[in-house]
Structure 1
Amino acid sequence: MRQISVFVLVFSLMYSLAHSLFAQPKVERAMIEQGLVDVQKIDPTIKVELKYSTTDNFVGKDVYGDLTRAYMQPMAARKLADASKYLQTHHPELRLLVYDAARPRSAQWNLWNALPNLSERERRKYVADPRQGSIHNYGCAVDLTVATKDGEPLDMGTKYDYFGELAYPSRENELLRAGKLTQKQLDNRQILRTAMRQGGFSSIEYEWWHFNALSRAKAKMAFRIVD
């Protein structure tokens, strides 16, 4: 009788696990099966608003469908949690707000094709060539900002996915001198950059919001692309 009870318990647990997995959207299941993790399960204080799951993005439409959670490789998610801890230690009233994390390559094609008027060289400034794969496609990059506890983003001088020099970290001092960015906006960007670098991320030249947990070459060696 006891053996039957144990069998029923094990079967129930396995059924619950399977049901939980298949209740996930298809793209989330693919990410979980490849070992990616929900960043909010690593650090629940991190806020998430996936812009490509809304119409508030440069495409002007929902690219992700039912994907609303931010997934990353475990090592990248731990780095993000470290950045979050550093931010809250030095700015208790602030939180990280994630706009994009792991991105399926199918969505990468949608973003790439949404910029038909740019040359391939110009496109690559803003969207990685899907044929090569973005670091986002490996779950090793994150787009984010800093927000208040209530989720209000700090003023960074441009919106997320602004394609132009105002978003370039490499031009900030020049833009400040020209009066196109304010010192407060640059201070807010520096709060984000400092926290992310303390977490082990690197920034890029053209987007204040984008950070890599490791290079694309290393990501390609260690992980598979999420298709």
Structure 2
Amino acid sequence: MVMGMASILSSLNGHHHAACWLVLIGYLLDLADGAVARQLNACSALGAKLDDFADFTTFGIATSLLLRTSDLLDNILCMCYVLSVFVRLCFFSSDLTVFPTGIPFMYRGLPCIYSSAILASASLLSGGNMAVLQVIAVAMILFMISQNFYPHDRVLESQAWKKVVYAGGIAMVFCSSFPPACVYYLLWSISYILFPTSLWSSKV
């Protein structure tokens, strides 16, 4: 949530590069917070609610501001993006581990952290090209509000190679001035969309 609020302030003050990277740092923290809570035996209903609030702040409001300009249509797209994240979070509450369908550890609709990572990475790589971001944002909205199932990505509680991927993501934060760092997050997030079950289903 702190990363999301910092990103919002950065966007409002015109610090686009910082706003994007704060969203990506929030992406890393979101992948880790559940694992840390379970490791410390600190899971609670309050924590689950706070996780949803943090997701909405960082991957809803903060990410939508990356699309913001003075144009009316861009602002409408911002609102549509925020609403799609809201709808996405309503379909899956983080205090549930099993859907009513009986399918364990699955999300309904693309998790908003991946759409945010793709948008933030694309924004950095394209220099904030709005035409590119608009197309990606529309695609991400459709993925998030879809009824498709995606695996629960317990990156830090799964195969060793996923932990290596996560460690690489941390390393890329320290290379934030170099475009390959953005490519790393972009490929990571796109791989979740293209190969959700074969690559990212949780296997300890």
TM-score w.r.t. length of structure 1 = 0.26
The structure whose residues are more often strand, as a share, is: 1
The structure whose residues are more often helix, as a share, is: 2
Highest Rg: 1 or 2? 1
